[in-house]
Amino acid sequence: MEYIRLKGLGVSPGIAIGEVYLSDKPIFSEYKERIHPSQIKKEIQRFRNALKKTEKQLIEIKNKIKKKLGEEYSFIFEAHLLILKDESLIGEIENIIKKEKVKTEWALFVVNNKYEKIFQSIDDSYFKQRFSDIKDVLIRINKNLREDGKSPALSKGKKILVCHELPPSDAATVLSRGDILGVALDMGGQTSHTAILARSLNIPAVVGLHNIVNYVKDGDKIILDGTTGEIIINPPSAVIKEFISKKQRYDDYQKELTKIRFLEPVTLDGFSFSLQGNIELPEEVELTLSYGGEGIGLFRSEYLYLHYPDPPTEEKHYTAYFEVAKKAHPYAVVIRTVDIGGEKEIPHLEIEKEPNPALGLRAIRLFLKRKELFKIQLRAILRASILKNIKILVPMITQLEEVKEFKNLLEEVKSEFKKKGKKFDEKIPVGIMIEVPAAANIVDVLIKEVDFISIGTNDLIQYYLAVDRTNEFVSYLYQPFHLSILRVLRYVIEVCNREKKEVTVCGEMAADPLSALVLLGLGLKNFSMNPVFIPKVKKALREVEYKEIKKIVEKALSLKTAQEIEEFILESILSKYPQVFLKKPEL
């Protein structure tokens, strides 16, 4: 049997070994897989074999239906057979294969799209719908390109779900069924709904595989590694063995993490800290709590705006916010007001693409410009606040005026509520994000106006160092341990502690054990991060004495370069606390 390795994007860690369950919604591959010119002949033959197989199937079906229901019903397969033999269609597909040097799957996709367009432009609704017949035939051919076009009856038991695309509505029902060992998708990215759901349900998942549906059939044995993004189809037994022991190591590591969950969040010398989750879907609350998180330090509300064609209604906002609040209760939930801008065009919000979105009309700037639109969000937050565990966080503050303007707007909505006699948390805390260097510099002024501060280190570092870390030419300059960053963090944390206002770091620095230790040394108590990192960070913080770390970090601040600082801190901590970092399994 052939043994194939594919590489996608691992979006939910863990290893799954099992049989393929190919979701029976055959959709065309949207991946243009090229072939060598010498392969064209073979590819055409492959296409023609699929045609033959399809013809045989259609004749069988036609005769069966004719016997059972009469010619009236079997006729449509007659039309399908004619479509299958239509020379202009076949010629077109073969031409694409030859000229573009591509796999048949891509040619079918192109032709399908072409006819979809042609038929869509027809006014008559009967003729318009005939596209479905053409699509049916093309799908059948597509299926038959695989070695075995038949799908064997599903045996019972847990399976690895393989499909082209999993729409959000399906993802929730399918993944929570309990019989899915892992998920492999052609489409999707790190932040797709399926990826997030799989992570929160602890189901290993690999996405972005382009055309795995064309490589497997039901019942194939596959290995899926959600950590590395690797898929192995029909692996030899030696490889299976290797992955079984890998899986064992990973599961042991998971157990270790789970143990940590029940331990107190306190340092060796009695300094209490709190770890919370950064999430964007209500479904992730359980995950956060299961990892020992104490509430939601950052609920991103952008999802509601970006994944639907229309602006979300108040009801939609409310449902999401209340669900999060209810699930997290009695812990607190910090809802960040919309943080979007011109990195992409969003027609329903009338947002245009900007040449320099990081410095443009985004987050609170956009919010204040479109007050009526975003008041909907405030109303929904207030409605959801009846459990008194919601806090409002405003992103991208640059100046005091913005804070005041936002608070005025909130007051307007509040008095609207009072007039109507609607219930809400009258003392709902309002906080701001410190991301813009200017805001960090005047945090002593801003803090008088707010109840809490959240430091978004990712953006703060980007703006402070003027470095886009996704730009490979300058990403080396992105250094969280740059002296300037440590100094500004020290200043912001000190001001908050002095004013007795809560301060949280919700950037990636909070999720990295070494950086988290540095933040602890700067006096930080609250850390919010992707839930999966909570156990690691908790372990590190529990293994040390706050006073010692404080001393080490203070000393480090007298050094000059980021490298010197990092080396000094790492060496000092490791020599005193060799067990501080949880060892990752060797994967």
Partner 1 sequence: MIEKKIKIINKLGLHARAASKFVNLANRFKSKVRIIKNDDEIDGKSILGILTLAATQGTEIILRVEGEDEEKAIQALENLINNKFQEPE
d(CA 470, CA 468): 5
Return the bridge partners of 182, or none: 160
Q: Which of 193, 210, 317, 482 is catalytic?
A: 193
Residue 163 annotated among the catalytic residues of the structure: no
d(CA 278, CA 418): 32
**Measured from the CB atom, is 66 or 329 closer to partner 1?**
66
The separation between CA 336 and the C-alpha centre of its own chain, rounded to angstroms, equals: 17
349, burial (CB in 10 Å: exposed 0-12, middle 13-18, buried 19+): middle
Minimum distance between the CB of residue 44 and partner 1, rounded to whole angstroms? Answer: 20
231, burial (CB in 10 Å: exposed 0-12, middle 13-18, buried 19+): buried
Minimum distance between the CB of residue 130 and partner 1, rounded to whole angstroms? Answer: 5
Minimum distance between the CB of residue 133 and partner 1, rounded to whole angstroms? Answer: 7
d(CA 474, CA 468): 7
Q: Could you give the residue ranges of the DSSP H alpha helices within 329-482? A: 363-369, 371-384, 400-420, 437-441, 443-446, 457-465
**Measured from the CB atom, is 73 or 308 closer to partner 1?**
73
d(CA 205, CA 184): 6
User: How many residues does the structure list for the chain?
Assistant: 587
Radius of gyration for the alpha carbons in the chain, expressed in angstroms and rounded: 28
Return the bridge partners of 495, or none: none
**Measured from the CB atom, is 3 or 75 closer to partner 1?**
75
**Measured from the CB atom, is 3 or 127 closer to partner 1?**
127
Look up residue 103 and give its two tokens: 């796999």
**Measured from the CB atom, is 87 or 372 closer to partner 1?**
87
Minimum distance between the CB of residue 72 and partner 1, rounded to whole angstroms? Answer: 10
Residue-by-residue DSSP string for 192-234 = SHHHHHHHHTT--EEE--SSGGGT--TT-EEEEETTTTEEEES
Residue 80 annotated among the catalytic residues of the structure: no
SS3 at position 333: strand
**Measured from the CB atom, is 78 or 256 closer to partner 1?**
78
DSSP letter at 182?
E
| Contacting positions for partner 1 (CB under 8 A) | 75-76, 78-79, 82-83, 86-89, 115, 118-119, 122-124, 126-128, 130, 133-134
Minimum distance between the CB of residue 67 and partner 1, rounded to whole angstroms? Answer: 19
Minimum distance between the CB of residue 122 and partner 1, rounded to whole angstroms? Answer: 5
Residues annotated as catalytic are: 193, 506
